[in-house]
Amino acid sequence: MAKKSSGASAGNIFQERFDRFYDELQWLYCELYADNPYVRMHLDDLCSRIREYYEERPADLKASDRKREADPDWYKRNDLLGMMMYVNAFSKTLSGLEEHLDYLRECNVNYLHLMPLLASPAGRSDGGYAVSDFRSVQPELGTIEDFARVTGACHRQGINVCLDFVMNHTSEDHEWAKRARAGEKEYQDRFFFFDTFDIPALYEQTCPQVFPTTAPGNFTWVPDCQKHVMTTFYPYQWDLNYRNPIVLNEMICNMLFLANQGVDIVRLDAVPYIWKQIGTTCRNLPQVHTIVRIMRMICEIVCPGVLLLGEVVMAPDKVVPYFGTVEKPECHMLYNVTTMASTWHTVATRDVSLLRRQMDIVASLPRGYIFQNYLRCHDDIGWGLDYEYLQNFGMQEAPHKKYLNDFFTGLFPGSFGRGELYNDDPRLQDARLCGTTASLCGIEKYGFEGNRAGVELSVRYVITLHAFMFSQSGIPVLYSGDEIGMLNDYTYKKDPDKAPDSRYLHRGDFRWDLAGNRNDPKTVQGMIFPALLKLEKIRSSHAVFNADAALRTLDTWDPSILAVVRETETEKFIGIYNFSEQDKVAWINEEDGTYTDLISGQQLEARGVMIPAFGCYWLLRN
């Protein structure tokens, strides 16, 4: 029964945590499901089951929970470095991943984001985001026991494990979906099923389409049961109905099951979409925040060492509410997607104005807000930029998106980028971009042409972009392969399951043959890998890179040079980044002594700094 105890014993850790949160949990849950006559029964069931997951939680994970409870800011310091990867691309299997943990430690990685690996149907999985069983692993990778063994091995190496938790939908092959298709109303009620298109038509009036080109509409006809089902993303991904408390309870239990397998960071996939309501966009509704707050409290009760990472691909004013408040926090971390997109805009335009504006916005937020920073990820680059601001520079949305895509696909004269479009919609003049960091920065183009000077300049740019990413506040995350300058993999076109999805361009198999060159300074790998390693070690050695350091930008009086200042009471850091292919002068004037460039060791004043093409400085005041 869901009852608050009259007083927990000092040794009853679960009861103490439960008592701390029960009143709020009860209030939020009963408010969310106020129209359900069995709300108390569902709440009691949830509370009973979360106790069971606490009791089943392995002793080593409970010990980690207690350690992190005593140090709640453990993830806010400068010693976390992430890497995201697909297991099958990196090591074929989970057992293979375990064998390669030494490579990850060589990379200084201690935050490993494993892309979706739960059971999903081949050819209808959206890269693993159509889950058919939340408690099984894709059989070609291994078993759930293998996964638990790998997380244990990671923990012994000091590596935290992040896993995607697909909240919005299941695969049409999930047991619930199969039983719904067979006509069982109990399971149809866990999705959004309608006999006619009358109600779906009302949703369609205000609910935007995610993929209007490749998956138009928000509903799919299911011939087996002669009904329409809501499918916001793809027809094989059936939206879950969180208006049904059984759905919330079961999904929370699935999350706790994964946490008990050793997951340290739960990535809440597509979390803004999980509550649907006619007459709205079905995005970012208040009930979403109620659900995330409930999940946060339950994690604090059962597994307080586990972090929630919200995948909210929106502008800062839409993102920030997912942190919650100081008194009622929601997500521990969020993606810094706008800075990522603004960075690539800057690469194409050689103008840092928008990027600087984005940095200033992030710097104005409370320092306790932790963002996950990245240059590239498994997904495409969407051009969700601040077009209202860009209009001040004569940049209109549709033609500017076309310019960016032309630049990075090599269509624009003089462009060095080599990528491909994703979900190109000629009608809306919109498309997203795919490609590895190395290919987008010119290494592919110049390497193909045999232009050694061009390759070396592009390598410098790859290093500079990573240096910029490392100097942002939050947790930097590499995309596996970027550390060795992997290029686009065009072989995906030969696989009928992958060919329709150009995102596989940058999801190629890890090139272990190239990784073997990482200590040869004559190779691309031998230029990039040691340079990133040096940046990572510098970052982890100076407290000025902690999240609580003050952050601001500086005037450089050159549109292609960005200067970022980080300060603590004892250290002052200035990062200077040249987004131009020409040597430039950063006309800064910090008259407070001599600085040391942490990268080269060079001594200089922070005044009128000459910076090479696509180069950077990390200056620290002596």
What pLDDT was estimated at residue 317?
65
CATH assignment at residue 201: 3.90.400.10
Q: Which of 221, 239, 257 is the last residue of a domain?
A: 239
Residue 106: C-alpha distances to residues 83, 100, 328, 463, 533 (Å)? 12, 10, 38, 18, 9
Examine residue 510 and state whether it is found in any structural domain, yes or no.
no
Instruction: Note whether 6 and 77 are same-domain residues.
Output: yes
Examine residue 182 and state whether it is found in any structural domain, yes or no.
yes
- Predicted confidence band of residue 5 (pLDDT cuts 50, 70, 90): very low
Q: How far apart are CA 124 and CA 234, in angstroms?
A: 9
Instruction: Note whether 177 and 226 are same-domain residues.
Output: yes
The residues assigned a catalytic role are: 269, 311
Instruction: Note whether 14 and 150 are same-domain residues.
Output: yes
Domain count of the fold of the chain = 3
What pLDDT was estimated at residue 617?
98
What pLDDT was estimated at residue 84?
97
Query: Mind listing the pLDDT tens digit for each residue in 430-448?
Result: 789 999 999 999 999 999 9
Q: What is the mean pLDDT of residues 264-290?
A: 97
Instruction: Note whether 232 and 321 are same-domain residues.
Output: no
Beta strand pairing status for 333-335 and 307-310? parallel
CATH assignment at residue 598: 2.60.40.1180
Cβ-based neighbour number of residue 458 at 10 Å: 26
Examine residue 415 and state whether it is found in any structural domain, yes or no.
no
Query: What burial letters (b/e) apply to 166-187, b meaning 16+ CB within 10 Å?
Result: bbbbbbbbbebbeebbeeeeeb
Query: Mind listing the pLDDT tens digit for each residue in 177-215?
Result: 999 999 999 999 999 999 999 999 999 999 999 988 888
Instruction: Note whether 234 and 253 are same-domain residues.
Output: no
What pLDDT was estimated at residue 9?
42
* pLDDT of 4 strictly over 70: no
- Predicted confidence band of residue 316 (pLDDT cuts 50, 70, 90): low
Beta strand pairing status for 333-335 and 193-194? unpaired
Examine residue 422 and state whether it is found in any structural domain, yes or no.
no
Q: What is the mean pLDDT of residues 45-63?
A: 97
Instruction: Note whether 50 and 138 are same-domain residues.
Output: yes
Instruction: Note whether 132 and 42 are same-domain residues.
Output: yes
The answer for residues whose C-beta is within 8 angstroms of residue 468's C-beta and 6 or more apart is: 343, 562, 564, 575, 577, 616
Instruction: Note whether 102 and 204 are same-domain residues.
Output: no
Instruction: Note whether 226 and 296 are same-domain residues.
Output: no
Q: Which of 239, 262, 280 is the last residue of a domain?
A: 239
Q: What is the mean pLDDT of residues 364-377?
A: 93
CATH assignment at residue 25: 3.20.20.80
Q: What is the mean pLDDT of residues 511-539?
A: 98
What pLDDT was estimated at residue 313?
83
* pLDDT of 8 strictly over 60: no
- Predicted confidence band of residue 428 (pLDDT cuts 50, 70, 90): low
* pLDDT of 2 strictly over 50: no
Instruction: Note whether 120 and 192 are same-domain residues.
Output: no
Q: How far apart are CA 295 and CA 410, in angstroms?
A: 45
Q: Which phi and psi (to 5°) does residue 610 adopt?
A: -80, 125
Examine residue 23 and state whether it is found in any structural domain, yes or no.
yes
Q: Which of 189, 214, 239 is the last residue of a domain?
A: 239
What pLDDT was estimated at residue 252?
98
Q: What is the mean pLDDT of residues 251-263?
A: 98
Q: How far apart are CA 457 and CA 435, in angstroms?
A: 19
3-state secondary structure of 434: strand
What pLDDT was estimated at residue 124?
87
Closest CA to 589 of 567, 566, 607, 611: 607
> DSSP character for 198?
H
Q: Which domain holds residue 182?
A: 169-239
What pLDDT was estimated at residue 214?
82
Instruction: Note whether 192 and 266 are same-domain residues.
Output: no
Instruction: Note whether 173 and 316 are same-domain residues.
Output: no
Query: What burial letters (b/e) apply to 526-551, b meaning 16+ CB within 10 Å?
Result: bbbbebbeebbebbbebebbbbebeb
Q: Which phi and psi (to 5°) does residue 514 adopt?
A: -75, -35
Examine residue 391 and state whether it is found in any structural domain, yes or no.
no
Query: Mind listing the pLDDT tens digit for each residue in 23-34?
Result: 999 999 999 999
Examine residue 515 and state whether it is found in any structural domain, yes or no.
no
Examine residue 445 and state whether it is found in any structural domain, yes or no.
no
Query: Mind listing the pLDDT tens digit for each residue in 68-84?
Result: 999 999 999 999 999 99
Q: What is the mean pLDDT of residues 451-468?
A: 98
Q: What is the mean pLDDT of residues 528-555?
A: 96
- Predicted confidence band of residue 10 (pLDDT cuts 50, 70, 90): very low
What pLDDT was estimated at residue 115?
96
